[in-house]
């Protein structure tokens, strides 16, 4: 997605027969957004998948609710009392949180991959998620039960910004290179992992248990307060990221060329870094450090849109779809294992008491993301690039 300011330019010279990638201009006052048709189609598909996953997550679970009852509970607040409670108070906040957190991680990953011109430079790989987690854990361990969602979010944002500053200072000596950024980020991630372990050893048993569960990355038990917090943050951060879409695309061409095209490289990089860290920090504060969504979503969006650069809008939509689908898989993982055990008597994978357990979504994304990372590295073998 690109943005231009001022009056719209002359009509596009694209031939009429080429409709798949023809840009569509959406005018508002003094800002023009140019959205390629295929990018819009990919965004619509991702939104549709997110909506389907949301509806499924409202229906299935330890207390199944038929779809007609889901609709009545959502739009009328009537029907079976347990159905209304599970749909509106338990499952809907978690499903909406999956959409919002996935979108935040997708856009954050697109920003950092574009800045560094490296598909591996996502917030979870280069240490920004770990830094945000360290800040949040410090707040949880220090304040214990008195730690509010706002205080945890501030701790996560502070930790993420401090980590980003350290990583960029170390990686920018002699020019910012994607390989150096990834390697330094991996080292910082390892050190922060040790810091997090130390903080857990200094906490009380209850605080350590809460922090450890949160560290896995989970939507389980999240309520409307978490949804409101990240929704308010995204209302500010997402429009700002889209407005900076044009400088972001120019930075993908290199600093010298971007500067020649009129982009103030240092200012643009600082602003985009703050936005990217803010997005991943608020996602971490809401659901914990969920891995690999920020890594995979931008690259999947590039493959689907067949564009040379990363679109923040498409990356956010794909990230929302990925995490929503992972949330459904996580919620039904133990149920599926129990179903297999019922059908194949000798293959008893879980006990009946575990049938309705909920798998943290971070475990699902870690498994799927690890496979994706191996695939990316296999594709890039012999190229000399990370």
- DSSP calls for 130-164: HHHHHHHHHHHHHHGGG--HHHHHHHHHHHHHHHH
Element holding 291 (H helix, E strand): none
Find the angle CA(352)-CA(354)-CA(359) to the nearest 5 degrees: 150
Domain-embedded: residue 144: yes
Residue 289 CA, distance from chain mean position: 10
Determine the 3-state secondary structure of 111 from DSSP: helix
Note whether 84 and 354 are within 8 A (CB).
no
Instruction: Count structural domains, the chain.
Output: 1
d(CA 348, CA 264): 61
Domain-embedded: residue 22: no
Residue 73 CA, distance from chain mean position: 29
* Beta strands across the sheet bearing 31-36: 2-5, 31-36, 23-28
Domain-embedded: residue 216: yes
Between residues 311 and 298, the one the model is more confident about: 298
d(CA 139, CA 214): 13
Task: Quick: pLDDT tens for 141-200.
Answer: 777 655 667 787 788 888 888 888 888 788 777 556 667 777 888 888 888 888 888 888
Q: What's phi and psi for 66, nearest 5 deg?
A: -60, 155
> Which distant-in-sequence residues (6+ apart) come within 8 Å of 218 by Cβ?
287, 288, 360, 361, 362
Domain of 141: which CATH number? 1.10.3470.10
**Residue 130 sits in which domain range?**
99-294+301-379
Position 183 scores a pLDDT of: 82
Work out the pLDDT band at 255, boundaries 50, 70, 90: low
Work out the pLDDT band at 19, boundaries 50, 70, 90: very low
d(CA 368, CA 373): 9
Domain-embedded: residue 106: yes
Q: In which residue are the tokens 């300011």 written?
A: 5
d(CA 134, CA 15): 53
> Which of 165, 37, 124 has the alpha carbon at shortest distance from 298?
124
Domain-embedded: residue 8: no
Work out the pLDDT band at 232, boundaries 50, 70, 90: very high
C-alpha separations of 260 from 115, 247, 257, 265 in Å? 17, 12, 5, 10
For residues 310-322, give the mean pLDDT. 90
Note whether 8 and 32 are within 8 A (CB).
yes
d(CA 147, CA 149): 7
Q: In which residue are the tokens 């689907």 written?
A: 304
Rg of the Cα atoms in the chain: 22
Determine the 3-state secondary structure of 4 from DSSP: strand
Q: SS3 helix, strand, coil % of the chain, rounded to 5? A: 70, 5, 25
> Which of 228, 284, 224, 214 has the alpha carbon at shortest distance from 93?
224
Reply yes or no on whether the pLDDT at 29 is more than 50.
Answer: no
Reply yes or no on whether the pLDDT at 207 is more than 80.
Answer: no
C-alpha separations of 378 from 373, 374, 382 in Å? 9, 6, 9
Q: At how many degrees (to 10) do helices 293-305 and 37-59 cross?
A: 130
Position 93 scores a pLDDT of: 93
Domain-embedded: residue 71: no
Token output for 59: 């229906």
Position 380 scores a pLDDT of: 66
Residue 39 CA, distance from chain mean position: 19
Domain-embedded: residue 76: no
Work out the pLDDT band at 381, boundaries 50, 70, 90: low
For residues 104-114, give the mean pLDDT. 90
> Which distant-in-sequence residues (6+ apart) come within 8 Å of 199 by Cβ?
134, 137, 138, 141, 211
For residues 223-238, give the mean pLDDT. 90
Position 13 scores a pLDDT of: 42
Residue 335 CA, distance from chain mean position: 26
Find the angle CA(124)-CA(273)-CA(275) to the nearest 5 degrees: 90
pTM of the model: 0.82
Q: In which residue are the tokens 């209850």 written?
A: 206
Domain-embedded: residue 330: yes
Note whether 1 and 39 are within 8 A (CB).
yes
């Amino acid at each position: 997605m690109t943005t231009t300011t001022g009056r719209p330019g002359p009509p596009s010279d694209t031939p009429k027969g080429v409709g798949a990638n023809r840009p569509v201009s959406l005018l508002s006052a003094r800002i023009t957004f140019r959205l390629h048709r295929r990018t819009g189609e990919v965004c619509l598909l991702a939104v549709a998948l997110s909506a389907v996953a949301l509806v499924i997550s409202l229906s299935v679970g330890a207390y199944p609710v038929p779809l007609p009852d889901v609709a009545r509970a959502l739009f009328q607040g009537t029907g079976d009392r347990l159905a209304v409670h599970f749909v509106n108070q338990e499952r809907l906040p978690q499903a909406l949180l999956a959409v919002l957190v996935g979108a935040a991680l997708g856009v954050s990953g697109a920003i950092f991959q574009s800045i560094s011109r490296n598909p591996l430079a996502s917030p979870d790989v280069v240490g920004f998620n770990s830094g945000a987690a360290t800040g949040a854990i410090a707040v949880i361990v220090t304040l214990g039960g008195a730690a509010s969602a706002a205080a945890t979010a501030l701790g996560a944002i502070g930790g993420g910004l401090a980590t980003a500053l350290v990583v960029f200072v170390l990686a920018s000596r002699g020019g910012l290179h994607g390989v150096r950024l990834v390697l330094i980020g991996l080292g910082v991630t390892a050190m922060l992992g040790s810091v997090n372990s130390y903080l857990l050893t200094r906490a009380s048993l209850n605080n350590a248990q809460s922090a450890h569960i949160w560290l896995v990355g989970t939507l389980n038990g999240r309520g409307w307060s978490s949804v409101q917090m990240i929704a308010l943050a995204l209302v500010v951060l997402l429009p700002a990221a889209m407005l900076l879409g044009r400088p972001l695309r120019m930075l993908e061409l290199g600093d010298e060329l971007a500067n020649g095209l009129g982009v103030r490289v240092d200012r643009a990089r600082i602003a985009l870094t703050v936005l990217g860290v803010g997005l991943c920090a608020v996602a971490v504060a809401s659901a914990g450090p969920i891995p690999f969504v920020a890594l995979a979503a931008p690259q999947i969006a590039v493959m689907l849109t067949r564009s040379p650069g990363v679109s923040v809008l498409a990356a956010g939509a794909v990230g929302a779809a990925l995490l929503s689908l992972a949330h459904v898989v996580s919620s039904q993982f133990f149920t599926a294992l129990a179903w297999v055990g019922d059908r194949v008597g000798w293959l008893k994978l879980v006990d009946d008491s575990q049938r309705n357990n909920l798998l943290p979504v971070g475990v699902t994304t870690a498994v799927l993301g690890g496979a994706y990372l191996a695939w990316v590295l296999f594709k890039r073998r012999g190229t000399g690039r990370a």
